[in-house]
C-alpha cells in the first residue's frame, strides 16, 4: 500500500517538474530556433531586397518574435534567470530583435541590435 502512494507521489512530482521546468525550456528552445530562422532570412548576408512589402514583412516577423522572447523572459522569470546562468538572455534577445525590426536602413545601424540578439541567444558560432 505504501509503494502505491509513493508511486502516485512520484508521478505528481514528475508531472510538476515537467510542467514547471521542461515545458518552459522547450518553449525557449523553440523561440530561439524561430529567432535564428528569422535572423538568417532577414539579416544574414548582403544584398537583401529593399522592397516595401519585404521590409514590412521583416519588421512584423522580427517584432513578433522579439515580443515573444521578451514576454517569455518576463512570464518565466525564474527559468530566465537559470538560462542566464548558461549565457542565454531571452529578455535581451527580445529587446534587440524588436529594436532590429525598427531599423531598416543601413547595415551599420542594424549591426548593434543584431549582435546583441546573437549574443543573447548564443548564436555567435552560427551567424557571425
Q: pLDDT: is 115 or 6 the higher one?
A: 115
* Rounded-to-integer distance, Cα 81 and Cα 120, Å: 13
Question: So what's the pLDDT on residue 29?
Answer: 96
Q: What is the pLDDT of residues 30-50, one digit of tens each?
A: 999 999 999 988 887 655 667
Got the DSSP string for 34-73? HHHHHHHHHTSSS-----HHHHHHHHHHHHHHHHHHHHHH
Mean pLDDT taken over the chain: 87
Q: What is the pLDDT of residues 54-91, one digit of tens each?
A: 888 989 999 999 999 999 999 999 999 999 999 999 99
Q: How far, in whole angstroms, is CA 73 from its chain's centroid?
A: 9
* Rounded-to-integer distance, Cα 100 and Cα 33, Å: 17
Amino acid at each position: 500500500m505504501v509503494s502505491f502512494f509513493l508511486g502516485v507521489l512520484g508521478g505528481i512530482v514528475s508531472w510538476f517538474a515537467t510542467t514547471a521546468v521542461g515545458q518552459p525550456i522547450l518553449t525557449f528552445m523553440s523561440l530561439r530556433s524561430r529567432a535564428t530562422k528569422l535572423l538568417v532570412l532577414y539579416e544574414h548576408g548582403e544584398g537583401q531586397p529593399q522592397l516595401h512589402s519585404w521590409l514590412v514583412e521583416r519588421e512584423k516577423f522580427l517584432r513578433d518574435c522579439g515580443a515573444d522572447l521578451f514576454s517569455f523572459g518576463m512570464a518565466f522569470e525564474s527559468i530566465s534567470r537559470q538560462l542566464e546562468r548558461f549565457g542565454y538572455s531571452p529578455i535581451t534577445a527580445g529587446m534587440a530583435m524588436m529594436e532590429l525590426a525598427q531599423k531598416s536602413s543601413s547595415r551599420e545601424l542594424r549591426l548593434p541590435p543584431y549582435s546583441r540578439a546573437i549574443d543573447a541567444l548564443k548564436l555567435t558560432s552560427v551567424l557571425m
